Amino acid sequence: MTEVVDRSAAKGHAPVTAPSLVPGSAQPAVDVHALGEQLLGKWAAVRLQARDLAARPELHKTEGLTHTDHRARVSGQLQYLVDNGAVHRAFPSALGGSDDHGGNIAGFEELVVADPSLQIKAGVQWGLFGSAVMHLGTGEHHAKWLPGIMSLEIPGCFAMTETGHGSDVASIATTATYDPATAEFVVHTPFRAAWKDYIGNAAIDGLGAVVFAQLITRGVNHGVHAFYVDLRDPETRDFLPGIGGEDDGIKGGLNGIDNGRLHFTHVRIPRTNLLNRYGDVAADGTYSSPIASPGRRFFTMLGTLVQGRVSLDGAAVAASKVALKAAIHYATERRQFNASSHTDEEVLLDYQRHQRRLFTRLATTYAAGFAHEQLLQKFDDVFSGAHDTDEDRQDLETLAAALKPLSTWHALDTLQECREACGGAGFLIENRFASLRADLDVYATFEGDNTVLLQLVAKRLLADYAREFRSVDFGVLARYVVGQATGAAIHRTGLRQVAQFVADNGSVQKAAIALRDEESQRALLTDRVQTMVAEAGAALKGSNRLSHEKGAALFNRHQNELIDAAQAHAELLQWEAFTDALRDVTDPGTRAVLTWLRDLFGLSLIETNLSWYLMNGRLSMQRGRTVGEYINRLLVKIRPHALDLVDAFGYGEDHVRAAIATGAEKTRQDEARAHFRSQRASGQSPVDEKVLIARTAAGRTK
């Protein structure tokens, strides 16, 4: 029996020394039920309610529909959500909601397993359009528009992105100029690149929109603000005067959503249509705001809309879980090549490479899931008001910007790898990998382009790094610089490698023990982040004293390293979340298996970046060679528990809906094996030509 050393015992948690075992074996057992409850998280009841809805055929994607028919189906499904109380949790209790912000996201993200188009269209209506009215508007706006938005009487759009500006919201070109003579704003798109583009509900369904535009009054541009604009006549569904648009047409995925373009030609709206929580204009044109700084005001307004990134993070994790459940179930049944037997073929999941392909992604999915639960808690703390300081909001914004890129990229990678791991069967639409991947493709670029979001994280890391030294005296700073230089000298002269080699004494086993140690993994992952940020900070030192042009050029020269540092930081956050979750596992067997899975995640990150660790002297060649070897040992340990680990996700056949994950493959394989066994037993089995040749050759030898 393998002993699992638990270094959290000192923190008040019971050490794991005797894992529960699979009956009749020396293997630790996974308590699937308990693990499943842990994975459901704080909002378990809401998730289960949402999964019950997502399992219903009324909400499932019907493959093969034209985009026109798919749009009509999804529009009808939105009313089904309203009728079943699935979308109002975050709205005020006074209007029929429940003021449950975390629960709202937890339930919403589960809709992705029914149809990603349904999830995103619901997100447009209530998570963006409705949320913008709620968070950027005031009581008058809530009373006027939220009841209709909640009931779906007012389908609407979130009109922020423009053809010419996506992630750079501050530079959008649509204007809203105040006319004091009529007490109206004049909304205008001055050129083609200023058209609102890729807007959900814009092509067909949207009757209203929250339009983001540059607020201009008394000749001063006060930056981007949000305005409520009526788009269409409710009876005829025709655009109102001055408003026009186009259909974006067929997309690479999410074709159940009527994305389109909008433009405005001197459209007049009442002054009170300004959603004025953070900025207001009086009847005489005087501008006022509770936030004096234009920059801080802008980021505060956008920060209220962070839930889109939070929900995409969770939806991406859910899609990864569904894909892995299907692929791993199939891999335990599908047989290919008789490598170790003359009669029986091997199941795919017994091949090391297949384990590498799926188990490493399974480990990352667990890490991303645990990190998402922490993000969801942070989101709920802020929006419930439990912890809602400026610092809390900045932390939430940074955390969402760090995790959303990793989970959405991971989902796309996992769906593709699962597709390939299932061969031709994986390419069939009935098994959903290709369809889900197409629908989730845009997750990497909407609600914030992933690369741009990581740059935001990098800037926050640099700011935190600089803040540490803003008030220190020369002596402290000098000691820090000396320490950095000494550390670099130790790493780069090979002294650390020598120390590691001596400690390991050439032993692969000792090197493996060192790498599987929790603190060793934490040190390696943390050191990489800190070093990368420190090097970037040193390279950019003094950039604020350069001209605007030279400062931008200097930053651009180090942009790639900064984004790499941000990604390393996000990966560390996921590893820490996984490690934190281990401390909540009470069953010893489950904790043993999850510890292996956490180690697989951590060591896979180190293996991926092994060149950095070797070049920077953080690992000796001895330990570097050991990383891959120990990963392969972990694969063998995890193999008996693979089905338990995906079953703990809690998704049934009505959620997965993949023909290859129904047991049909096992039935086919068992039938084939029975056929050949019967044939051999009857003595009527034909002789294989290769066997005949071997027999003939043996006879000649005699």
Distance CA 20, CA 27 (A): 8
Distance CA 59, CA 52 (A): 11
- Pull the structure tokens for residue 612: 């950095």
- Pull the structure tokens for residue 69: 């028919």
The number of residues in the chain equals 702
Judge contact between 319 and 368, C-beta under 8 A.
no
C-alpha triplet 317, 319, 323: angle, nearest 5°: 115
What is the bridge-based pairing of β-strands 196-199 and 208-217?
unpaired
Distance CA 381, CA 389 (A): 10
State whether residue 232 is helix, strand or coil: strand
Contacts (Cβ under 8 Å, ≥6 apart) of 693? none
Q: Residue 196: enclosing H or E segment and its boundaries?
A: strand 196-199
Closest to 461 in 3D by CA, of 386, 525, 512, 537: 537
Q: Rounded to 5 degrees, what are φ and ψ at 274?
A: -70, 125
Distance CA 156, CA 541 (A): 46
User: What residues are paired with 188 via a beta bridge?
Assistant: 175
Closest to 318 in 3D by CA, of 597, 111, 101, 49: 111
State whether residue 662 is helix, strand or coil: coil
Helix, strand, coil shares of the chain as percentages rounded to 5?
A: 60, 10, 30
Map 310-333 to HEC letters: HHHHHHHHHHHHHHHHHHHHHHCC
Map 567-589 to HEC letters: HHHHHHHHHHHHHHHHCCCCCHH
Q: Rounded to 5 degrees, what are φ and ψ at 91?
A: -80, 160
Supply the DSSP string of 422-483, one letter for each residue: THHHHHSGGG-HHHHHHHHGGGGTSSS-HHHHHHHHHHHHHHHHHHTTSS--HHHHHHHHHH
Q: Is 447 a catalytic residue?
A: yes
- Pull the structure tokens for residue 686: 């034909």
Distances (CA, A) of 435 to 190, 199, 406, 439: 39, 22, 21, 6
Q: Rounded to 5 degrees, what are φ and ψ at 209?
A: -155, 145
Judge contact between 231 and 273, C-beta under 8 A.
no
The tally of CA atoms less than 13 A away on the side-chain side of residue 135 is 22
Distance CA 73, CA 89 (A): 24
E strands present in 525-626:
none
Rg (Cα) of the chain, in Å, rounded? Answer: 29
- Pull the structure tokens for residue 145: 């528009």
Contacts (Cβ under 8 Å, ≥6 apart) of 351? none
Instruction: Identify the active-site residue in 447, 518, 571, 665.
Output: 447
User: What residues are paired with 187 via a beta bridge?
Assistant: 176, 267
Distance CA 61, CA 50 (A): 16
Contacts (Cβ under 8 Å, ≥6 apart) of 502? none
State whether residue 228 is helix, strand or coil: strand
DSSP class of 192: G
- Pull the structure tokens for residue 434: 């290709």
Residues designated catalytic? 447
